[in-house]
Structure 1
Amino acid sequence: MPSETNRLHPLSAVTLALQRGLTGLSMPFFAVMILSTVFDGVDIDWLFMLSPIGFVVGVGYGIAYYYRFTYAITSRTFDVTSGVLSRRSREIPYRRIQNVDVSQGVLYRIFGLAVVSLETAGGGETEATLNFVSEAEAERLRAEIRRQTARVDGASSDERAAPAAGVDETTRHDRSRSDRGPTLLFELEPTELLVYALTSFRWGAAVFPIALVIFLTSADSGSGLVPAFVLEIARPIGGPASLDSATVSSLLILVAVTSLQWAVATYVASAIYTVANYYGFRLGRAGDDFVYERGLIQRYSGSIPVDKVQSVSITENPLQRLVGYAGLWVETAGYGPESSGGSQSAVPLAETDRSYRFAENLTGVETPRFQRPPTLARRRYLVRYSLIAAVVVAVAFGLAQVTGLERWYLAAAVFVAVPIAAHLKYVNLGYHVGDDHLVIRSGFWNRRTIVIPYYRIQTVSTRRSIFQRRLGLASLAVDTASSRTFSWGTPTVPDLELETARELHGSGRERLQSAVRERARSDETGLSVDFT
């Protein structure tokens, strides 16, 4: 099917011209500044001639890039052509498209503009970005790509299931839903958003207090390396009045107080980020796709084809478990906007029972009956954490020899936490081998329960470290096509008895082959988009 060639919004030409113009303006500046220090014949006055020329060339390049950038929707692919001096043409098959995401900043919303990103399977980065188009065009692209993807997938499954019979009325009715408005599945209530913000801790938010300290330090030249307010807060409890007159004990107090301030500032920044990022979160169903929207300042929306979902995860940290809440994530094989991985939050936070019920309805998995590794694994964790505690005591002793630190032996109190840590790690491990799914649970600080359909498993491997070989243990690693595994680590059942690991390895391979054959004969996606 031929398709009309489209260009970006005209304001893109203005933006590209300014961006390239500033680049062209700055390049002669840096070149002349560097060359003037090397060659005597290079005069600084050249800047007044070369910089305007660079600006004009950059503006011209930006405008040319705008006119040379086109995109089109065809019957089989989404085509993007770009480049001025070096042309690049990309044909993205609908079968590979995992997510279609639309983002809008504050200024974009004011001008009615949006950025459309296409994420594909196995991609380490966004495959195509349309920066930017009108809101109406963004919605049209998302709906049309979703329709074309459903058509291509439906035609493929129809050929496998009944090449001569055509599409039955029920199937046609289900696919026609993609042309209707989305059906709401979940909406994050203000109370749930507040609980999510107060029970989440995002390490990326640590950049904010660090940047604040750097700014205040540069603004207050009299405080040296540390802002004055940090010294003032630590002084009443034994901190130094200045770094020049500081003793070892006062410096340690300063470090402790500064760390506490950093943790509080990071927690506050994390809560603000969570509210801004997940404000107005809504998840809906459009045909066989999940559609979502969220965000206060930067508004995100997108669609996830259900047949691209690789696995489903339930996440909960200690605070969330204490108040009885958990989150639900769906993971695809593409690159998504969440944590640079192909992962989307289907339910950011809900009551734990509700999240588990969502996971069971979504995947069709039976309620898991978890089995734990043998108790020998707990002994292994006890030894591991004891070694870590010994290192902490050794470091304290070394500091005492160099700095004169008194009562270094108090660091031995860390051994009290060793059996507790070993026990908590052990009791939060578990696995369940179901008829159609493998369920793995692990982690204490961020406990993750992942449901993996057998037909989504890529490889099953048995791994043994030196210490595991001595104890007769092994770990079972289960790879899927989800990009999230690269950032969170491959889903693994750790420290099983060797015979159990080998049995699960063989069983997993057989179930994988059987599930793939069954799926090839079936027209089912394997997941339900109506999971409420």
Structure 2
Amino acid sequence: MNRLHPLSAAAYALQYGFLWLSVASILTLLLGGIFDAIESAWVSLAAPVGLVAGAAYGIAYYYRFEYGITPDTFDVASGVLARRSREIPYERIQNVDVRQGVFQRLLGLAVVSIETAGGGSTEAALNFVSESEATRLQHQIRTRTAEVKDRRRGRGRPDASAADERSPATDEASSDAETERTSAATDPDEPAPDDDGPTAEPDSTDGTTTSDSDPVSDGRDRVAGPDSRGPRREQLFALEARELLLYSFTSFRPAAAAALLGLFFFATDLAIDLLVSAARPFGGPANLGEGSPTSYGILTVVSVVNGVVTAYVLSVVYTFAAYYDFRLGRAGGDFVYERGLLQRYSGSIPVEKVQSVTVTANPLQRLIGYAGLWVETAGYGPESDSGGSQSAVPLADQGRVHRFTETLTGVESPRFRSPPTTALRRYLARYAIVAALVVAAAFAVAQFTPLERWYLAAVVFVAVPPAAYLKYVNLGYYVGEGHLVVRRGFWKRKTTVIPYYRIQTVSTRRTVFQRRLGLASLVVDTASSRSFFWTSPTIYDVDLKDARDVHGTGRKRLQTALRERARADDSGLTIDFT
């Protein structure tokens, strides 16, 4: 069994020391308010005692924390007073992520997180190990996980050859092909066929290739030494500087708005003074308590504009720092990625855990012809922006992303069907009701405030027809031979490709208004994680007959895909990404 890096002892000592210091101080103050015998001055004694006790506990926790790699499991033992031992089977491990903050990178340390399929949180976290140890653990666990999958597939196919076990990415590998690859690797003029498909020429856009004989990854992609046996890592996609800037300026992170609100609550007085000062040149009040309704209206407008601009700037900075030097690679049956400027992330996306693939693009990105590619994985998705959604290609040329999607999933070019025009009339009525509520709210405010021209709020009715039309034209679905494709959304249009064998349930939902119009919506559920921003793909407002046809077709093709996949015993997805 191994121990963490020695600096972990100092980190745990500080962490638990300050935690126990805070608890001792707060507890002393609370008890002092209840019992007269306890004085508030005792905090000066309780605080250092809590600090020393917490530091001692942190050091003891370091010496009691052990981990090790065994042939079948990754073992972790921890706990000072209550001992806890965990044996994590390799077949259950989904991700091995490495995270480095600013100070950790300066000190050469890293945090290794072990994620298991279906887990709601990190199964085991190693705080901290050296960079070399983190790389070794990540590589060895991935290698052993791949070996477990190979053995399992070998048991499912008694006639599997040794070449099949050595190359799990293909079911048709042979010793002759292995010999050809070996000879081609020694001959620079002879291209070598890829294990996962035909040889791909390097992409002039990012200089990547998928040929095993000509890997483009740098030294960080390989682990030197005797433990470097196993899947070789190859680079499939690299986010260029231009794409990084476009992605930063054309996307918005809700976390930026949350951070701005947090800063406002922590420094309310300073924030209000700054907002008043910013609005004063435009006619805002001289002081917060001295002003007219007009000046307060100007203050409100200026404050909203400043808030939006500040949140946008924070979003640009956050996105740039989070996706700096983004690289997607391939290691055996996993996609592996690295990203981050201040905090460096390194993780994996198991191909067999991929439930669906989604192409996303907001109006700005569509205007310049760019899009992003996300994958939904089963279970917990660590270090992702939204639950089990993980970015495979943050931003690239739209045509290139579509080719990636078709190659990854094998889906044919979809021919989308739109909802009936009855749905458009429904959206017109829906947004008209929303506009009427806005006018009613303005009228109600005018009854209790000096607001006079409340009727000007009726201008929102002008936006009703374009809003209804934009919602309608961005909806569509395609029922393919092996995949169901769902498109929806205007502000962030998502086109989701779902293999039939990944579908868990297809449910038909009808509201009161949909029943009156003869419409229905189909919700397609997979085993992937969902969040507020990533909900289940839904086919909205189609004719009831069409909804039933799609439901029945999907069910039949699901059974067919499951039978075919059981015979083929493969993941159903290719990882030849070009």
Query: If the TM-score is normalised by the length of the shorter chain, which range does it land in?
Result: over 0.9
Alignment of 1:322-341 (within 5 A): 322-333=367-378, 334-341=380-387
- Indicate yes or no: 2:316 matched with 1:320: no
CA distance in 2, matches of 1:497, 1:79: 54
* Cα shift at 1:277: 0.7
Contact 1:336–1:343 (8 Å) recurs in 2? no
- Mapping 1:264-283, distance limit 5 Å: 264-283=309-328
Contact 1:103 1:115 in 2 (8 A): yes
Task: Report how far residue 100 of structure 1 moved.
Answer: 1.5
Tell whether the 8 Å contact from 2:356 to 2:375 is kept in structure 1 after alignment. yes
Aligned to 2:296: 251
Note if 1:185 corresponds to 2:236: yes
Mapped to 2, the partners of 1:141 and 1:124 lie a distance apart of 22
1:200-279 superposed matches below 5 A:
200-213=251-264, 217-219=268-270, 226-227=272-273, 229-279=274-324
Of 71-80 and 315-324, deviating more is 71-80
Q: 1:468 is matched with which residue: 511, 514, 529?
A: 514
CA distance in 2 between partners of 1:199 and 1:340 (Å):
18
TM-score normalized by the length of structure 1: 0.93
- Find the partner of 1:417 among 451, 463, 477: 463
The 3 A distance-change label for structure 1 pair 336 and 200 is same
User: Bigger CA drift: 113-122 or 408-417?
Assistant: 113-122
Aligned to 2:351: 306
My pick for the range that moved more, 365-374 or 302-311, is: 302-311
Deviation at 1:486, TM superposition (A): 6.0
Distance 2:148 2:168 in 1: 15
User: Which residue number corresponds to residue 246 of structure 2?
Assistant: 195
Counterpart CA distance in 2 for 1:408 and 1:487 is 34
Q: CA deviation at 1:168?
A: 4.0
C-alpha contact 2:386 2:531 (8 A) present in aligned 1: no
CA distance in 1, matches of 2:88, 2:75: 6
Per the alignment, in what secondary structure is the counterpart of residue 403 of structure 1? coil
- Structure 2 match to 1:529: 575
Letter of the 1:394 partner, please give it.
A
**Distance (Å, rounded) in 2 between the aligned partners of 1:169 and 1:106:** 44
Distance 2:83 2:533 in 1: 33
Cα distance, 1:76 vs structure 2:
2.9
Give deviations 1:341-398, integer Å, cap 9, x for gaps: 1222111100101011100011100001001111111111111111110110001111
CA positional deviation for 1:71 = 2.0
Deviates more, 1:19-28 or 1:401-410: 19-28
Structure 1 stretches lacking a partner, 5+ long = 220-224
> Structure 1 residue 445: deviation in Å?
0.2
Q: Aligned-pair RMSD on alpha carbons?
A: 1.9
Q: Distance in 1 between matches of 2:260 and 2:23?
A: 33
For residues 53 and 151 of structure 2, what CA distance do their matches in structure 1 show? 49
Q: Which residue of 2 aligns with 1:124?
A: 120
Q: Is the 8 A contact 2:98 2:112 kept in 1?
A: yes
Residues 486 and 399 of structure 1: CA distance in aligned 2, closer, same or farther (over 3 Å)? closer
Which residue of structure 2 aligns with residue 400 of structure 1? Answer: 446
Work out the CA distance in 1 between the residues paired with 2:234 and 2:556: 38
Distance in 2 (alpha carbons) for counterparts of 1:41 and 1:170: 76
Give distance in 1, aligned partners of 2:298 and 2:115.
49
Q: Distance in 1 between matches of 2:268 and 2:47?
A: 34
Q: Deviations over 1:274-310 (max 9, x none)?
A: 1111111111111121111111110111122211111
Q: Return closer, same or farther for 1:457/1:28 CA change in 2, 3 Å cut-off.
A: same
Q: Using the alignment, how far apart are the partners of 2:425 and 2:82 within structure 1?
A: 61
Structure 1 segment 348-359 matched on structure 2, within 5 A: 348-359=394-405
Given that residues 197 and 272 in structure 1 are in contact (C-alpha distance below 8 angstroms), is that contact kept between their aligned partners in structure 2?
yes
Shift of 1:124: 2.2
Distance in 1 between residues matched to 2:105 and 2:24, nearest whole Å: 35
Alignment check: 8 A CA contact 2:154 2:165 kept: no
Q: Which residue of 2 aligns with 1:222?
A: none
8 A Cα contact 1:249 1:405, kept in partner: no
**Where does residue 406 of structure 2 map in the other structure?**
360
Q: Secondary structure at the match of 1:488?
A: coil
CA–CA distance in 2 between the matches of 1:305 and 1:381?
40
Q: How does 1:480-499 map to 2 (within 5 A)?
A: 480-484=526-530, 487-499=533-545
SS state at 2:494 partner: strand
Residue 59 of structure 2 aligns with which residue? 63
1:159-170 alignment, distance < 5 Å:
159-160=155-156, 162-163=157-158, 165-169=159-163
Percent identical residues:
60
List per-residue Cα deviations over 1:25-63 (Å, max 9, x = no partner). 222221221111221111334334433332232122212
Structure with the larger RCO, 1 or 2 (CA within 8 Å, 6+ apart) = 1
Gaps in structure 2 of 5+ consecutive residues = 170-194, 196-211, 213-228
Q: What letter is aligned with 2:122?
A: T
**How far off its partner does 1:171 sit?**
4.9
